[in-house]
Structure 1
Amino acid sequence: MSSTPAPDLIVLDAKVFTANPDRPWAEAFAVAGGRISAVGASADIQALAGPATHVESLGGQVVLPGLSDGHAHLGLGGSMLAWELPLQPTDTKEIIFGKVRDWAQKLGPEEWIVGGIVGSTVMDVVGNVEDLAALDEASGGRPVLLRDDSMHNRWVNSTTLQLMGITADSPDPEGGHYVRDAAAGGALTGVLHEIASAEAEAVLSASLTDPAARHRTSLATALSTLNSYGITSVQDAATMEYSWKALADLESAGEITAWVVGSMPVRPFLETGTVGDELLGIGEAHRSEHVRPDFIKVVLDGVPMTRTTAMLRPYVCHGRHEDPEFRGEPYWNHDDLVETLRMCYDRGLNAKLHATGDASARLVLDAVEQVRKERGPGPIFQIAHVEFLDDADVPRFAELNVVPDASPYIWYPGVIQESIAQQIPAETVDSSWRTRDLVEAGALLAAGSDWPCALPTPDPWIGLETLVTRENPDPEVTTALNPSQRLELEQALLAFTRNPAQAMGLGGVTGSLVPGLSADFIVLDRDIFSIPANEIHRTRVQRTFFAGTEVYNAAPVEATAQ
């Protein structure tokens, strides 16, 4: 007679994609103590049941491991959903003015209007005093802060500029830019690039009356939203002090419903707050079972829409007022970056490195090559977002054990690519996002939403579809982005399950349905393996389980809607 305790839960008669290379498919699995205890055929797993085992027979429904989002901004995304004016990246500036005006009617005369996301195509055209005046009028004098779809830039009104203490004579901050209207004598426009955005965020933060309660609600909203899309592990891409405290509060209350890996900026970032050694100490002080301060965050460059990405080839030149050889400049040099990566070895930390340009990606790969030669395998190094890569650098990811942290959400259906195409030469755009090349070269391709960048939700089914099709889910958009890089569905699924879990240091915890790992799994409303690839974005999660406990069920939502 076996002394092994009976499972708490058994799932039978399912189509189970395990993400386990040794056994990619199964019919059933058992859960004991929040972990997968057995995987196999329904008859074999059913035989393990005891008198107290709860048995679920799914009638052939598809079950996947809980999805892993390798790159999200939980504080910003949760705050947007819980508190802020919702904008769509496709909204025109006229629609935005109307939404701001309507939102203002609900607020007191001094309350902030905070919202997003503003599409890059709008940010391209509002750098003038006329649109600043229109935003002032729509807000009724209330301070405004609108975030763009890259989260690197902000659009504020005159009241916010006054609260920031910024005038037309104010010099640009290091690493940032106050956009001015040359036709109006250099007057401020309210558009803020890069670090200038942090100044507006600091003024907003100072206005909050109970920031701790607000942040706790924001983080709880972020986690519940992730669960509704089937996500049970996430890497927060820039974890500030407020997030550590809010996550600790949620952990203490037993309300953490996903594995959370934090990434702590080592230099001033787009959100205001403590960075560097002090933040690393704060993160470590808040380590818990489900919340792990295991990564630093290094921002090597900006975004191509504002020509702050570091490129190997020149940007598009729009006339004599621009340097035809301009390629952008990285924010770090080689020696400083090498020293920071050495610190990762010394302190047992990993690193997420934002590098949107091919020049900045090469800078990272060169630095990693040096420290790998000096110190050996060591930490996990990720490069986000690997949009542009030179041919010579693609095989280096596998050779140096560097993770390409890709963001398929940025391709479609947002408008970022339209703005990028105005700044980056067509031949470079046409060869971008080399996902198949990276996979075939042996790299560990990990997908991340970059939520709330590009789209207002972290919907993984859009990103999964575009990895397979390289096409916009909107059938009226008939173009494809570098279609040679299409992945097979199972390859794309690994980029949303096992791979990002491994990339964030959770490969021994979650990401696949393997005995001993956390029982994180989801039940889908359709068989994504039998439908046309261009219908994957319609997929909805019916149930999400985290450590064997159901944390999301779509049924109550559907019942309420009837």
Structure 2
Amino acid sequence: MTPDIIIHNGKLMTFDPDRPAAQALAITNGMLTAVGSDAEIRALAGDTTRMIDAKGGTVLPGLIDSHVHLFGGSVELDSLSLYGVEGLEAMAEAILPHAADNPGDNLVFCVMADYGILGTGRTLTRHDLDTILPDRPLAMFAPDHHTVWANTAALEAAGLLQGGEVDAGSEIVMGDDGLANGELLEPGAYGPILAMTRHAGREMMGLTTGKDPVPAPTPAQREMDKDVIARGLAHCAEQGITGLHLMDGNVYQLELLNELEAEGRLPCRCMVPFHFKGTDPIDRIAAEGVPMRDRYQGDKVWCGHMKMFIDGVVESGTALMLRPYPGDLGKDGNMGDEVFTQEHFVAAAQEADRHGLQIAVHAIGDAGVRRTIDAYAAAQAANGTRDSRHRIEHLEVMHTDDIPRLADLGIVASIQPGHAPRGHIFPPGAVGQYLHADQIAGAYAWQDIRNIGARVVFSTDWPVIPLDVMPNIKAAIAPLDLGPDWRDQTQSLHDTLASYTRDNAWVEFNEDRKGQIKVGMMADIAVMSHDLNALPPAEITQAQAQVTICDGKVTFERG
């Protein structure tokens, strides 16, 4: 059969151990049908075959970002970003023109506001924001999406100025005057603020509640949501991405993605989770999670895992630690915020595992990671050992004694290199100030985790950091030197690219169908502008995707 597409003159990184390199490939009916030399593959071309010249660039299996928040990231593409902004004056210079340009917004909402936006040791309050916009609701998201800061008008409009009841692990921080000081920690606290945004918080409901919007979106709202997700998916394809693992989910997102697929507007395969909250009863897993998994099992849209949070983040003092934080974060013995009781968390892990659900847990602090490992061990003890491929997301700070347990229990380390202080994206000194000196040995221990034999997969956590693949790869292969206290965890280019392709296909149980350039695999391919192996690590960001192919169709082509 005549190929639909031939890619030639490339430096193929196939991740096929039987043929690790080649020059060309052929695609027919959405599948890889030949891999070999230019001469071999070009000889297969027919009159209708599209020829794509890779021009000596690396050709990879389609990149898979295994930890994203698609709906929220898509919305934030059009939001005011405060990345790199420092100080109230600079904030005002960015915010006031945006507010003037959007007079119809119920809430002036900004993203990527750094925890240290006012300088070290200074926490942003409603009073600070009131000096910028005193008479109109204003709020801003931290990059990690675990904290929102709001001015007085926003707190009043959301009904939060007097405080209120929140979920475990969330907090409306109160001031000395008995009113909310403007800092809202975790979704249970900031949900009412998101409800005031353009999409009324629907973009975050797969994270904040794990349930569908109430009231149900109108047809116009549904189309607006679908269009913004379509723009986000096109942005993914522009990076060479052909697959996404969403880390927030509800049936609503699955429905929108299925509709986009039916309309021919789905350029990436999407795995969507069932989101289980610390306040949910255990029977919700069987009543809602299992049917959700069983109902959605397509090649391009499917439900394959259950997502949970065990803790928050280091910068806000909500990540669970084995002992109190140093400095002000540790006052009153603060060791982080418990999202689940451990008994409830273990019961949830056992129940999900019993039903064959893969589990992905956000765990950042050393105690949070240990609790997650303990829960996975308890699930194995209760249900027996199986090929579960349970994941821990982030594991930014680990006790060194726990690192070998990842391999012993078959736990997958799901890591975002760009999150690290060595990753060129966030201030290099930001996290270290919140850790005790001896905790640094187990912080962002990428290579140590590989060395003990655990599986490692890479992702961005978009929109916590940009979706752009190459800066995240640079964070892994050319990290900053943070000094003698921080062990060298530099990744090889091969391991990094494998963790973005082959291994991300493996962790979604699709290793027999994608993640390698091999005959019989799905035709998901990224053609890069450069030979990645020839670029110095620090210059890897010179490369970008030139052509992206998903399911045998060109989904992006750089002009």
TM-score (norm 2): 0.88
**Alpha-carbon deviation of 1:405?**
0.4
Q: Is the 8 A contact 1:110 1:143 kept in 2?
A: no
Deviates more, 1:98-107 or 1:108-117: 108-117
Q: Which residue of 1 aligns with 2:409?
A: 400
TM-score (norm 1): 0.88
Q: Is the 8 A contact 2:11 2:56 kept in 1?
A: yes
2:316 to 300, 306, 316: 306
1:369 to 370, 377, 381: 377
Whole-angstrom CA distance in 1 between matches of 2:536 and 2:63:
21
- Is residue 22 of structure 2 the alignment partner of residue 26 of structure 1? yes
Q: Is the 8 A contact 1:265 1:276 kept in 2?
A: no
Q: Identity of aligned pairs, percent?
A: 24
**Alpha-carbon deviation of 1:551?**
0.8
**Superposition map of 1:71-470 within 5 A:** 71-82=67-78, 84-108=79-103, 111-122=106-117, 125-137=122-134, 141-168=135-162, 170=164, 173-182=167-176, 185-194=177-186, 195-204=188-197, 206=200, 210-267=220-277, 277-278=287-288, 281=291, 285-318=295-328, 322-323=331-332, 325-373=333-381, 374-411=383-420, 412-415=423-426, 418-429=429-440, 431-453=442-464, 455=465, 457-470=466-479
**Superposition map of 1:399-548 within 5 A:** 399-411=408-420, 412-415=423-426, 418-429=429-440, 431-453=442-464, 455=465, 457-471=466-480, 482-548=486-552
State the Cα deviation string for residues 25-67 of structure 1 (Å, max 9, x = none).
1111111111111212222223333443333343422211111
Q: Is the 8 A contact 1:11 1:57 kept in 2?
A: yes
Whole-angstrom CA distance in 1 between matches of 2:150 and 2:190:
9
| Change in 2 beyond 3 A, CA 1:418/1:284 | farther
**Alpha-carbon deviation of 1:136?**
3.0
Q: Is the 8 A contact 1:404 1:444 kept in 2?
A: yes
Whole-angstrom CA distance in 2 between matches of 1:68 and 1:371:
28
The one-letter code sitting in structure 1 at the alignment partner of 2:336 is: G
Whole-angstrom CA distance in 2 between matches of 1:481 and 1:459:
29
Backbone CA RMSD of aligned residues: 2.7
Q: Is the 8 A contact 1:409 1:462 kept in 2?
A: yes
**Alpha-carbon deviation of 1:362?**
1.3
Whole-angstrom CA distance in 2 between matches of 1:169 and 1:187:
7
Q: Is the 8 A contact 1:179 1:188 kept in 2?
A: yes
The one-letter code sitting in structure 2 at the alignment partner of 1:131 is: D
**Alpha-carbon deviation of 1:279?**
6.3
The one-letter code sitting in structure 1 at the alignment partner of 2:411 is: V
Whole-angstrom CA distance in 1 between matches of 2:396 and 2:286:
27
Whole-angstrom CA distance in 2 between matches of 1:143 and 1:29:
55
Q: Secondary structure at the match of 1:484?
A: coil
**Alpha-carbon deviation of 1:262?**
0.9
Q: Which residue of 1 aligns with 2:213?
A: none
Whole-angstrom CA distance in 1 between matches of 2:484 and 2:3:
47
Q: Which residue of 2 aligns with 1:560?
A: none
Structure 2 unmatched runs, 5+: 202-216
The one-letter code sitting in structure 2 at the alignment partner of 1:8 is: D
State the Cα deviation string for residues 88-117 of structure 1 (Å, max 9, x = none).
144444322222211111223553322211
Matched pairs, number: 532
**Alpha-carbon deviation of 1:134?**
1.7
Whole-angstrom CA distance in 2 between matches of 1:342 and 1:398:
19
**Alpha-carbon deviation of 1:169?**
5.2
| Change in 2 beyond 3 A, CA 1:503/1:540 | same
Q: Secondary structure at the match of 2:15?
A: coil
State the Cα deviation string for residues 448-504 of structure 1 (Å, max 9, x = none).
101111x3x2111111111112228xxxxx769935211111111111111122112
Whole-angstrom CA distance in 2 between matches of 1:407 and 1:157:
31
Structure 1 unmatched runs, 5+: 473-477, 556-562
Q: Is the 8 A contact 1:86 1:116 kept in 2?
A: yes
Q: Which residue of 2 aligns with 1:65?
A: 61
Q: Secondary structure at the match of 1:6?
A: coil
The one-letter code sitting in structure 2 at the alignment partner of 1:178 is: I
